Amino acid sequence: MMRSVRPISQVLLHVSNDSEANLFDEVRKVILKWIESKAGDKLPAEAWRGDSFAPDGIGTQRTEAVALPDQHFWAAHLDDADKKVAQRTWTTEVVVHEEEDGTVRLGCRLQCVTHGDDASFERSIPKFVRHIVEVKSNTVKLDGRPISVKPWFIDSNEQVKELVRLLLSPHRRSDVIVFSLPEQSTNQDETAASAPEVAWSTVGAAHVAVIAGQASRDLSELIGKEFSVYNRAIRTYRPGFNPDTDEPRLHPRRLSEQIAEWGDEGPEAYERLLISQALLRSISGQDIAIERELPPFPKLRHMAAVWQRERERQQRERERQDSSQEELLELLYSENKELKDERDNLEGRLAAVEKEYEDFLDTVGEEQKVAQEAYKEVKSKNFYLRERVDDLQKQLEGSGQSTPPVPDSLDGFKKWYRENLSGFRVELHKRAFEGVKDSQYKDVPLIYKALLLLRDYYVPMRREGGKSGKNAFDKKCRELGIEETQTFSGEKPKVKKKEQYKVDDRDGPRWLDRHLKKGTSHDSRLCFRLYFFWDDEEEQVVVGWLPSHLDTRAT
């Protein structure tokens, strides 16, 4: 039967001791209470004393803990059978270490082990992690920064600087997810999705922040507008963020209108995506193994076994002090052989486990590294080609050769499009070609002129800004008798067939929220409409339909 092991999430936290209480013991008891709630029976007395234990009662789930008092380590392992999916088990390994200054390091890994069909699952973190963060508020640190179960609210310049330090930190391993508010707003309820839900579900694995309107502008000044986040957009800053060398899309930003239409459920679906990606990132890449800072559970179990045997050996040594030298040597020889056999056995098991971990690390790390390098290379080439196209366009404009001939027939439309628009930041969705194919509009040249209007005037206006670009665009619209307006008035479109006003984009459906129009008649021979949206990340126009009028309630 096929067996699959899926890493789900992991956390590595530092807890500072802010009282005279035994923090190491506090953290351990929180974990033990959680284990007891899952184990199927009460834990033995030695568990609460902080000793090693491994209950073997009938009906209990596999539960085990090891203690190394001399080295201030405690670790536990729990197998929790899935209550809904047969032959699926959730495996939790946790390691706690007390440092010399009283700080406690807590590492936890959750895995899903399935025998048979690999059913779908939602990523999560064990509840005790959230409980520790709640109880020890402001003393638990992730990537060196205090965390909470609630989002970090950023509304001052000093807090923005603190955010930038976290983003640029070379030691950061976790995502930073920033929810922005509308301009001038400080109301945390006005985000495009629920920041508290994402913060609650990713605590210990990601940093979640809400940034006020003015603070967003301060952030733009420090890292550049292309890497900032504002006006209810949400951005995820991956580890290794470098605004001098990175492409903006490596740290994805989603606009509020995209989030509102995400999947079939809008914001809730996007929240689940953020949670899943943050937890996936916690077990991805070269830093996947907590054991780079804390020994894994199998190794600690081996160390505890050796430590326990040594204690037993010393106890027997004291009991046999009166034995003869010959008997003592014989006993020592026999005991040494037992110890060697057990050590060899444990080391063999440990080596197999460590090799499995290392193979997994190497595979995931190399795959991620190759994918990231390939992605960066493709993005860099694409950026260079787009800039080169823009340069050529400007050269053509300077030579007076940039305006192509305007046909009076739609027979060669696709060829004309490829030669004059494709690559010039005006992309036509496949539905737009269908609309052109079925066109009954009489003024055929206007169709071509409207597309050139987008290429030569609208795109520069959106990319470069400024009054001159806006004035040039408005002037050209008047020359053509065209208006450029919002497709809908108000936030919710009042149309009969909403799907007509959406097109599939790389991240899901997008509204065709802008349009060029000429004429008021709904006669397709006399009325011109071109529906599009502006792709902020690619800095391009995407045309979804032309040249006829789409249905409304007035149609």
Domain 3-135 in CATH 3.40.462 = no
- 209's enclosing H/E stretch is strand 206-211
Task: Name the superfamily (CATH) of residues 143-288.
Answer: Glutaredoxin (3.40.30.10)
Provide the pLDDT for residue 289. 46
Give tens-digit pLDDT for 164-182: 999 999 989 999 999 999 9
| Residue 285 binned pLDDT confidence (cut-offs 50, 70, 90) | low
Which residues make Cβ contacts (< 8 Å) with residue 396, sequence separation at least 6? 402
Provide the pLDDT for residue 433. 94
Give tens-digit pLDDT for 204-247: 999 999 999 999 999 999 999 999 999 999 999 999 999 988 88
Do the domains 143-288 and 3-135 match in fold? no
30 neighbors 131 (Cβ within 8 angstroms): yes
CA dihedral over 497, 501, 504, 508, signed as positive or negative: negative
DSSP β-ladder status, 502-505 and 508-511: antiparallel
Give tens-digit pLDDT for 477-519: 999 999 999 988 654 455 556 778 888 876 667 889 899 999 9
- 380's enclosing H/E stretch is helix 325-399
Domain range list for the chain: 3-135, 143-288, 320-399, 403-545
- For the entire predicted model, the pTM comes to 0.60
111 neighbors 89 (Cβ within 8 angstroms): no
Rounded to whole angstroms, the Cα distance separating 339 from 324 reads 22
Rounded to whole angstroms, the Cα distance separating 281 from 101 reads 30
Per-residue DSSP letter, 53: B
Mean pLDDT of the chain: 83
Residue 429: phi, psi to the nearest 5? Answer: -70, 155
Give tens-digit pLDDT for 66-114: 988 888 889 999 999 988 888 889 999 999 999 888 899 999 999 998 8
